[in-house]
Structure 1
Amino acid sequence: MTLSSVERRCPIVGVGALLFRADGAVLIGHRIKKGEPASWCLPGGHVDARESFEGAALREIAEETGIVGARRAAAFVLALALEADRTQMTVGVAARVDDAVAATREPEIFDRWIWARLDDLPGPLFPASAALLDAWRGRPAAPGWALYAMTDPISQPQE
């Protein structure tokens, strides 16, 4: 049986950014989006057409926090939500910034941004952010998530 286009829901492809400051702290925002429970979330959002994961992460960081000039952005994991009502994947991108102050540029979605140590993050975490942070820390995926490590095939040894 095939689904009609009305029954079929478009997949969601997003990014979440682990933006690290020079002292090792990561940027995380208090998400207060209407219709959702409040949670703590990494900067991120949808990947636009013709945009790389790294480009999407840097754009979302700038749009949500006003921080520009992050460097060494690199995708490190794909997190797949297994219990969503449609295909939903989020790619984790790590980037660095020397020092920055985050502004609240989307107050209807985030009411504040903080820098926090990975071992002292506030909660509860937004589910996709939790999955990316688990991957970064080398922890197994939480129930309902699958994590796929990303590697650069160009720099891998040839067989």
Structure 2
Amino acid sequence: MKKIPRIGVAVIVYKEGEVLLGLRKNAHGEGTWALPGGHLEFGESPEQCAVREVMEETGMAVKNMRPGPYTNDLFEKEGKHYITLFMVCEYASGDLTLREPHKCSGWEWFAPDALPEPRFLSLQNLLMKGFPRSVASP
């Protein structure tokens, strides 16, 4: 089987100046803090994927979506390679709910300059590039 990179979409959701992170489980990066997100599906835009993944994982709706940076993430131990597209948005509505407890231990809000560790590889790589400090920042 030929190994090819996959496309992931990670969503930076801001609410009152804080960012949403979840603790991963039962997948690569288990035990690390990550943004909500998942695989880009065939025919789906990154924006559509971001809205879908946030709703599926947290039960929340988002607004003011804009594209953010991307990272090139090579998970050497797992033999996986992802290009992660970051989407930046704001919380719109809904109660934060753990809707996929088999994939995530829980969701929490954090100040962008006080993100917990250990961090999922795409989040680590994003921090090295420069984390968007708000929905309006480039």
Give me the TM-score of the superposition, normalised by structure 2. 0.83
Shift of 1:108: 0.9
Larger Rg, first or second structure (1 or 2): 1
Cα deviation digits, residues 96-121 of structure 1 (max 9, x gap): 11565321111111111011101111
Match of 2:86 in 1: 92
Q: Secondary structure of the equivalent of 1:17?
A: strand
Match of 2:46 in 1: 53
Q: Secondary structure of the equivalent of 2:109?
A: strand
Shift in alpha-carbon separation, 1:74–1:35, aligned structure 2, 3 A: closer
AA at the equivalent of 1:16: A
Shift in alpha-carbon separation, 1:136–1:36, aligned structure 2, 3 A: closer
Give me the TM-score of the superposition, normalised by structure 1. 0.73
Q: Identity across aligned pairs (percent)?
A: 29
Contact 1:28 1:40 in 2 (8 A): yes
Cα deviation digits, residues 65-105 of structure 1 (max 9, x gap): 1112x111111112112565454200010001156532111
Contact 1:16 1:132 in 2 (8 A): no
Q: How many residues align?
A: 131
Match of 2:33 in 1: 40
Match of 2:71 in 1: 79
Flag structure 2 segments of 5+ consecutive residues without an equivalent: 133-137
Q: 1:123 aligns with which of 117, 125, 129?
A: 117
Q: How large is the Cα RMSD of the aligned pairs? A: 2.2
Of structures 1 and 2, the one with the larger relative CO (CA 8 A, separation 6+) is 2
List aligned pairs for 1:17-32, cutoff 5 A.
17-21=11-15, 23-32=16-25
Higher strand share: 2
Q: Say whether 1:113 aligns with 2:107.
A: yes
